[in-house]
Chains A and B, each alone.
Chain A
Amino acid sequence: MRKIRVEEITKEVSKMCIKANCDLSEDVLKQIESFKENEKSPIGKDILEKILLNADIASEKQVPICQDTGMAVFFVEIGDRVNIKGNIKKAINEGVRQGYKDGFLRKSVVKDPLIRDNTKDNTPAIIHYDFVEGDKITIHFAPKGFGSENMGKLKMLKPSDGIDGVKDFVLDTVNKAGPNACPPLVVGVGIGGTMEKACLLAKKALFRDLNSYNEKKHIKDLEHELLLKINDLGIGPQGLGGRTTALKVNVETFPTHIAGLPVAVNLNCHVARHLTVEI
């Protein structure tokens, strides 16, 4: 068994919060760059240029790319040969507390959804745990802004709705979001499982690298086709028209019940922050 002290986790999480919010990852930057070359709309092209310029400024000054530094979402994979010394949930939340304070990141969390007092330290984080083989802990982090989060949707389709039903639902969700989710988007789609599993899959899809594809051929094809169809909607950068509505569609699937076909769509904006660290 490999021992990992929780202080180490806190330290890593704190650093991740700052880095993810100030440095847009290479995969996202490259994708924006390549779409910019092909953007036909003059307004759209100008916006993509400004978005890239903004990322440069943020990285250089180490300030947040976007003022909405999100709710802190984690997927944590814990190896079966790891012995954690202390409470991992507390450790991650402490890391968020420190990172959001030290990095001058915005505290955007309210304690109660109806009373709405700010917790003033951006906790609690949303943490999903998974147990895997090995002697490491892998922490995937994404600060999730709510302009895009608010435009997400879940639908419990019938099995007979099939793949066409899935496509229609994804396109409809992106179309209804229009300019609100800060396009160009990264579109996360979860298909299968139960109600909550589909949502979790859609969220997980947003953590994937933009250069990755689903391993299953029919799902990879679906990712590809959905991206083309979404970009035919004409919504464009910031919803002001153009051919760049989404940078990537990532789809994740899971076995489901004979009676169901759950589909969830989780949208991310062009500030598609995601970062992974292994401890």
Chain B
Amino acid sequence: MKEININTPLTLDKVKNLKAGDRVYITGTLYTARDAAHKRLVESIKEGKELPFDVKNSIIYYVGPSPSKPGEVIGSAGPTTSYRMDDYTKDLLNLGLKGMIGKGKRSEDVVKSIVKNKAVYFAAIGGAAALISKSIKSSEIIAYDDLATEAIRKLYVKDFPAIVVVDSEGNNLYNIEVQKYKK
């Protein structure tokens, strides 16, 4: 299994280099968005409004962190289940979103759109939220403040650990690995 360090922005050349099963350490900017923020983002796209951040070549992290304790950058911040974002994902990929970090299966439609737009889907370890938080160095709410944990945050991360699950050719690590251990 390859280990790859990547820096944001996640440009096409970097995406093409990533294969299902690669372990990655991401350094740079991630934007957080989960259910409610996705709904608003896609409504804005439909209404032709400007989005709170430039989606092109960016990575969205599906997370709703717990509140930060005094003196901490952020609370616990592990991934949430991705399929709930599936209905909104195509619109973002079409705008040039290149990476998504979450956990769990994506719909066939989303996988097709990942291949078409040459993007990548990463998984982080669901439930390893205190560990993952250690790689988050700064956090700032940039939109939808009223959504509290669901607001959009701009995170600066250093060596954020994830694994490539669906690569830009549509290889799917969930299917590949489970076959090996099925009896």
| The stretch of A160-168, A188-196, A198-206, A228-236 that contacts the partner chain | A228-236
CB distance from B72 to the nearest CB of A (A): 8
* Assembly CA distance A147 to B82 (angstroms): 10
Tell whether A236 pairs with B128 under 8 Å between CB atoms, given A65-B76, A178-B174, A179-B104.
no
Per DSSP, chain A at the interface is loop
A-B contacts, 10 listed (Cβ < 8 Å)? A47-B125, A50-B125, A63-B75, A64-B129, A66-B129, A67-B78, A69-B66, A179-B123, A234-B183, A240-B173
* Assembly CA distance A29 to B72 (angstroms): 26
Query: How many residues of chain B are within 8 Å of chain A by beta carbon?
Result: 47
CB distance from A35 to the nearest CB of B (A): 13
Q: Is B77 part of the binding interface, using a Cβ–Cβ cutoff of 8 Å?
A: yes
Q: Is A108 part of the binding interface, using a Cβ–Cβ cutoff of 8 Å?
A: yes
Complex contacts, A106 vs chain B, CB 8 Å: 64-67, 75, 149
* Assembly CA distance A69 to B75 (angstroms): 11
> What band does the interface of chain A fall in when counting residues whose beta carbon is under 8 Å from B?
35 or more
| The stretch of A54-62, A88-96, A255-263 that contacts the partner chain | A54-62
Q: Is B163 part of the binding interface, using a Cβ–Cβ cutoff of 8 Å?
A: yes
Q: Is B51 part of the binding interface, using a Cβ–Cβ cutoff of 8 Å?
A: no
Q: Is B168 part of the binding interface, using a Cβ–Cβ cutoff of 8 Å?
A: no
Contact between B178 and A236, CB atoms less than 8 A apart: yes
| The stretch of A36-44, A76-84, A209-217 that contacts the partner chain | A36-44
* Assembly CA distance A107 to B1 (angstroms): 38
Name the one of B126, B133, B149 contacting A238, with C-beta atoms under 8 angstroms.
Answer: B126
Contact between B69 and A104, CB atoms less than 8 A apart: yes
* Assembly CA distance A55 to B163 (angstroms): 20
Contact between A42 and B1, CB atoms less than 8 A apart: yes
* Assembly CA distance A42 to B105 (angstroms): 21
